[in-house]
Structure 1
Amino acid sequence: MPIKIPDHLPARRTLEAEGVVVIGETDAVRQDIRPLRIGLLNLMPDKIGTETQFARLLGAAPLQIELTLVRISDHVARHTSADHLSAFYQPWSEVRTQRFDGFVITGAPVEHLPFEKVRYWPELRQILDWTQTHVHATLTICWAAQAALQHFHGIPKHRLTAKAFGIFAQTNLAPGSPWLRGFPDRFEAPVSRWTEVREGDFPQDGTLVTMACAEETGPCLVSDPRHRMLHMFNHLEYETDTLAKEYHRDGVGPMPIGYFPNDDPSRSPENRWRGHAHLLIGNWINEIYKTTPFDISRIGAPPSDGWNGR
């Protein structure tokens, strides 16, 4: 089934060229089904690139997806044109009365700041609380995952002495989980961050479940069933060249580990995580489809017995 996105969104041309089935708003209303409503709160500077990454993964699902792009209400993005934001994004203040089957909150390049020093931290805390009443399932990425654990559980983030940067093998700790259905015992994931959360800070009552981790970089995927949340601390959604662009952009700092062939930055990297990105998002969408209420007004109620966060 196709993904429904605005007709003139730049990601549309990229996805169509890759063979992803995209449906326009006019054609979507003719289909007598209820699409899954997925919101994307995009906190990344490269908003167009991030839109494309997630639309690609969501569009591969065998269901009709209606994607809504959301931004922080009062924050002015410096790297994306005002025309693009005005044409394709809705501020959270305008969607806060709506309900979503799924909601994705991306990472953000603010991890060097204490949470309370981030300009939009108060609104993000409101959004996290709002997901508990207006969203069936939430997926957080990297800094947003750290922010959610801080907000709901008081878990700190810790500054690393050296940047965790590269491709790291993750151990699958929960092969029977619906989120990791089809994953091998070990899989690779891009990592790019200066901070981490530590499993030793997690509550001892089992409210958080570490599903995948790496010895070098700590938790990768953590389930929070009480809040209907899945936290991904790494970046399976990244393009093949995302880490290369970051490395060449910065000009200094460590080379990404296990990324360039023979550690030669003049050579093109190979994508060894693309299939796992599709698998994770496909599993997430599948669980949403099986457990979300058909009556969208009932979204946000306490999870039913059908919800399986582990």
Structure 2
Amino acid sequence: MLDQHLKIGILNLMHDKVATQQRFTSIFKALDPTVELTFFYPVDHYRNREVPALVQNISEPLDLNKASQLQGFIITGAPIEQMPFEQVEYYDEITRLIDTLVEFNIPQLYICWGAMAAANYLYGIEKRQLTKKYFGVFDNEVLVETPVLNGLTMPFPAPHARYAELDHNQIRQSSELTINAMSVDDYLLALSGSDNQDFLFAHLEYDRRALLAEYQRETAAHPDRHYALPKNYFKDIKTLADPQFKWEQVQQLYFRNWLQKAADYSQLALIA
């Protein structure tokens, strides 16, 4: 348990909003029951339609003033990697949130699409479409140590699920970004920007069945398309039986490290 009561905001952009909220709540409450989580939704996403009752019941409209008073903030992934950023109806709202987090020096964790959008907005890194979805559980290696990756035994497994990747050459040419970890297939796992910015491209928040649920959701939505099964995931791929939670310990380590980082920044802010 941490030495102080942390308030963490999460902008939930995922398709499976209830499951996403349950995953983050389960992870953080197991690590520290005193952590207070507030889930937000982007107001601009519903500017031309009514906010669904389910969304209203589990989250709040994004409030930048409230966000500025938190000790950490997470922007999740979203199933929109194939869209240009400017075509995302809530993209401007995302950039205003990022500006607020930077202005108030709040520790930021950007995940998957959230990481792509933030790295593009903050550092001009372009997003590139993949020829096929990078989907499954893959081994990863730490290249440059950073606090959120402390304690990992290499290689370490992580679930990846995305249709796009940031431009590696642009990242390497940036003096402000560091590639901290990559998959053994040369896909991004972790970047760091300023001292309180972490970019995570694997879905470490996923639970045991999340990759299967994502596969089933896509195939149900587009039964006319072929979707590859997640790799290195099922004990029996013929029956889709017994998905393996290979990244459970990595999940616990990563989010414990991030919470500690948020606590350290909060303590420094109090001293200042």
Question: Would you say same fold, with TM above 0.5?
Answer: yes
The answer for the alignment partner of 2:232 in structure 1 is 258
Given candidates 70, 74, 77, the residue that maps to 1:100 is 70
Q: Which secondary structure state, in structure 2, belongs to the residue aligned with residue 202 of structure 1?
A: helix
Q: Which secondary structure state, in structure 1, belongs to the residue aligned with residue 156 of structure 2?
A: strand
CA contact (8 A) 1:39 1:103 kept: yes
What runs of 5+ residues in structure 1 fail to find an aligned partner?
Answer: 3-32, 299-303, 305-310
CA contact (8 A) 2:135 2:159 kept: yes
The TM-score normalised by the length of structure 2 is 0.88
- For residues 189-232 of structure 1, the C-alpha deviation after alignment (integer angstroms, 9 at most, x for no partner) is 11111100132111535311111101425110111125x21000
CA contact (8 A) 2:111 2:199 kept: yes
Given residue 133 of structure 1, which amino acid in structure 2 is its aligned partner?
A: E
Alpha-carbon shift at residue 292 of structure 1 (Å): 1.4
Cα distance, 1:241–1:289 mapped onto 2, change above 3 Å? same
Superposition RMSD on alpha carbons, in Å? 2.5
The answer for the alignment partner of 1:284 in structure 2 is 258
- For residues 40-98 of structure 1, the C-alpha deviation after alignment (integer angstroms, 9 at most, x for no partner) is 10001211100111112211224721111111013239xx9833333342211364564
The answer for the alignment partner of 1:172 in structure 2 is 142
Q: Which secondary structure state, in structure 2, belongs to the residue aligned with residue 216 of structure 1?
A: coil
Give the 5 Å matches for 1:119-130.
Answer: 119-130=89-100
Cα distance, 1:97–1:277 mapped onto 2, change above 3 Å? closer
Q: How many residues are treated as equivalent by the alignment?
A: 264
Given residue 147 of structure 2, which amino acid in structure 1 is its aligned partner?
A: P
Alpha-carbon shift at residue 133 of structure 1 (Å): 2.1
Alpha-carbon shift at residue 265 of structure 1 (Å): 4.0
Give the % identical residues. 30
The answer for the alignment partner of 1:84 in structure 2 is 54
The answer for the alignment partner of 1:204 in structure 2 is 173
Q: Which secondary structure state, in structure 2, belongs to the residue aligned with residue 234 of structure 1?
A: coil
The yes-or-no answer on 1:220 pairing with 2:194 is no
Cα distance, 1:102–1:274 mapped onto 2, change above 3 Å? same
The answer for the alignment partner of 2:222 in structure 1 is none
Given residue 38 of structure 1, which amino acid in structure 2 is its aligned partner?
A: I
Q: Which secondary structure state, in structure 2, belongs to the residue aligned with residue 74 of structure 1?
A: helix
Given candidates 146, 168, 187, the residue that maps to 2:116 is 146
Q: Which secondary structure state, in structure 1, belongs to the residue aligned with residue 102 of structure 2?
A: helix
The yes-or-no answer on 1:269 pairing with 2:239 is no
What runs of 5+ residues in structure 2 fail to find an aligned partner?
Answer: 220-225
The answer for the alignment partner of 1:39 in structure 2 is 9
Return the alpha-carbon distance in structure 2 between the equivalents of residues 274 and 177 of structure 1: 20
Return the alpha-carbon distance in structure 2 between the equivalents of residues 171 and 203 of structure 1: 17
The answer for the alignment partner of 1:247 in structure 2 is 215
The answer for the alignment partner of 1:6 in structure 2 is none
Q: Which secondary structure state, in structure 2, belongs to the residue aligned with residue 225 of structure 1?
A: coil
Return the alpha-carbon distance in structure 1 between the equivalents of residues 234 and 13 of structure 2: 27
Given residue 161 of structure 1, which amino acid in structure 2 is its aligned partner?
A: T
Q: Which secondary structure state, in structure 1, belongs to the residue aligned with residue 10 of structure 2?
A: strand
Given residue 58 of structure 1, which amino acid in structure 2 is its aligned partner?
A: F
Cα distance, 1:271–1:209 mapped onto 2, change above 3 Å? same
Alpha-carbon shift at residue 240 of structure 1 (Å): 0.9
Q: Which secondary structure state, in structure 1, belongs to the residue aligned with residue 23 of structure 2?
A: helix
Return the alpha-carbon distance in structure 2 between the equivalents of residues 97 and 202 of structure 1: 28
Return the alpha-carbon distance in structure 2 between the equivalents of residues 98 and 205 of structure 1: 28
Return the alpha-carbon distance in structure 1 between the equivalents of residues 11 and 261 of structure 2: 20
Given residue 103 of structure 1, which amino acid in structure 2 is its aligned partner?
A: F
The answer for the alignment partner of 1:233 in structure 2 is 201
Return the alpha-carbon distance in structure 1 between the equivalents of residues 259 and 67 of structure 2: 22
Given residue 84 of structure 1, which amino acid in structure 2 is its aligned partner?
A: L
CA contact (8 A) 2:44 2:89 kept: no
CA contact (8 A) 1:101 1:288 kept: yes
Return the alpha-carbon distance in structure 2 between the equivalents of residues 205 and 165 of structure 1: 28
The TM-score normalised by the length of structure 1 is 0.78
Q: Which secondary structure state, in structure 2, belongs to the residue aligned with residue 179 of structure 1?
A: helix
- For residues 231-271 of structure 1, the C-alpha deviation after alignment (integer angstroms, 9 at most, x for no partner) is 00111111111111222333331121111225324312110
Cα distance, 1:292–1:41 mapped onto 2, change above 3 Å? same
